[in-house]
Structure 1
Amino acid sequence: MLQFNDDNFQSFCNELAERDPIFKNILQQHSYPPMWTRPASFATLIHIVLEQQVSLASARAAFNKLKEKIGQITPARLLQLTDEELRACYFSRQKTVYARHLAEAFISKKIQLNKLTTSHDDVVRGTLTQVKGIGDWTADVYLLFALQRTDIFPIGDLAMVNALKEVKQLPAKTPREDILLLAEPWRPYRGIAAYLLWHHYIKSKNIKL
């Protein structure tokens, strides 16, 4: 499993720029993207669950509120909170259910993150998505940001897909299958392509992170 790190990230960006002019243009316009990473932890998975279908700012506010409430975010500490206490940390009813299922999966050892760090991408995705509330997007973001796998292409990410449609001048209703096909020549660096596309999206829309 190929992983990116501080030593190879920019060279992988350069490799993509040689393969496809859209990435060359992104690098010329915006320079290299930040190498966004997060710890491989339960807290990171909770943060990604909070990011589902809301703004990054809203998710961060909920995550910080939870941290204020319980300090270190662990499965046991989260499960001690009542639904009302989680609601006070800006958790929706649905995300309260998801967070509890995730915490229980850790306590029952259905998920063991130390094993996932050396597992194949598909095994990581399969293990995570057996938990209620964790779909492919959440697993893909974990694989990219926490495990730094180079070839994860989060097709469920609206910002990335919209950026791709913009730079490739694709019709708004381009089917998912066509987008996946388009990304094939970028293997094994489709994850780096996602970083470049997110970077373009953030810069072109002047989004403050």
Structure 2
Amino acid sequence: MPDKFTKENYQSICDGLAAADPDLAAIIRAHSYPPFWWRPNTFETLVHIILEQQVSLASALSALKKLKERLQELTPARLLLLTGEEMRACYVSRQKSGYIKYLAEALLSGQLRLAEMEELPDEQVRAKLVALKGIGNWTADVYLMFVLQHPDIFPIGDLAAVNALKKIKNLPATVTREQIMAITMQWQPYRTIAAMLLWHYYLSAPKNKIQ
């Protein structure tokens, strides 16, 4: 089974990162520890992550709530009964409706088995997810971090995490993806928790200081 971080060791890992990196230590001093962000390993969670792609967290949550109100229980079989018009009434775009229905079909057919994902290493989980239409590396990263609690993931495609890193490290606008990934290597084997500290900073600090 892959290594995982837990609610019990989360703050001690934060402390270890802070001891090695003054910029992460400054986040904890200013804003305390980040919440222990966690989501269950369910179809609903993956739908939620897909809805979060390239929109605000509030917008995604609103769409998820609408789907749950309409279906009572958000399951693959029930979701597939919705028409495109009904999905749009739940604030789900035509493109994301297609992604979510493809996911539902993959789960019902056995192409994807969520329980099995808990026993697989990072790259096998990623490969199974990105094989599905509408799921890319960002969605896979969030699933690995929030659902499976894999400890060493840095979501390079997440603008909030990257912008927070640029801010705390005073990086120039010209910094490359490769340079950013090189910086994150110092946080191994706990890049997930470092990213959560960055998200915590992004959500806690005034927005005009992070752009």
Query: Structure 1-normalised TM-score?
Result: 0.97
Structure 1 match to 2:76: 75
Unmatched runs of 5 consecutive residues or more in structure 2: none
The one-character-per-residue Cα deviations of 1:177-204 (angstroms, maximum 9, x if unpaired) are: 1010001111110000000000000000
Distance 2:107 2:173 in 1: 40
Shift of 1:95: 0.4
- C-alpha separation in 2, matches of 1:205 and 1:63: 27
Write the distance in 2 (CA, Å) between the matches of 1:173 and 1:133.
29
User: Partners of 1:63 and 1:166 in 2: how far apart?
Assistant: 32
SS at match of 1:29: helix
Separation in 1, partners of 2:86, 2:50 = 18
* Distance in structure 1 (CA, Å) of the matches to 2:174 and 2:60: 28
User: Cα offset for 1:123?
Assistant: 0.6
Letter in 2 for 1:189: Y
Could you tell me how far apart the structure 2 residues matched to 1:114 and 1:18 are?
A: 36
- Residue 99 in 1 paired to residue 100 in 2? yes
Cα deviation for residue 53 of structure 1 reads 0.4
SS in structure 1 of the partner of residue 172 of structure 2: coil
Instruction: Please report the TM-score for the alignment, with normalisation by the length of structure 2.
Output: 0.96
Aligned ranges 1:1-209 → 2 under 5 Å: 1-205=2-206
Q: Secondary structure at the match of 1:131?
A: coil
1:173: how far off? 2.8
Q: Which letter maps to 1:23?
A: L
> How many pairs were matched up?
206
Q: How far has the Cα of 1:2 moved from its partner? A: 2.0
CA distance in 1, matches of 2:171, 2:111: 41
For the aligned residues, what is the CA RMSD?
Answer: 0.8
Distance of 1:65 and 1:173 partners within structure 2: 41
Q: Secondary structure in 2 aligned to 1:156?
A: coil
- Counterpart secondary structure, 2:49: helix
Amino acid at match of 2:154: F
- Counterparts of 1:65 and 1:82 in 2: how far apart (Å)? 14
Q: Point out the more displaced range, 58-67 or 17-26.
A: 17-26
Q: Which moved more, 1:197-206 or 1:49-58?
A: 197-206
Letter in 2 for 1:20: D
Structure 2 distance, partners of 1:22, 1:111, is 40
Identity, in percent, stands at 55
Distance 2:53 2:174 in 1: 22
Q: What is the rounded CA distance, in whole Å, between the counterparts of 2:159 and 2:7 in structure 1?
A: 27
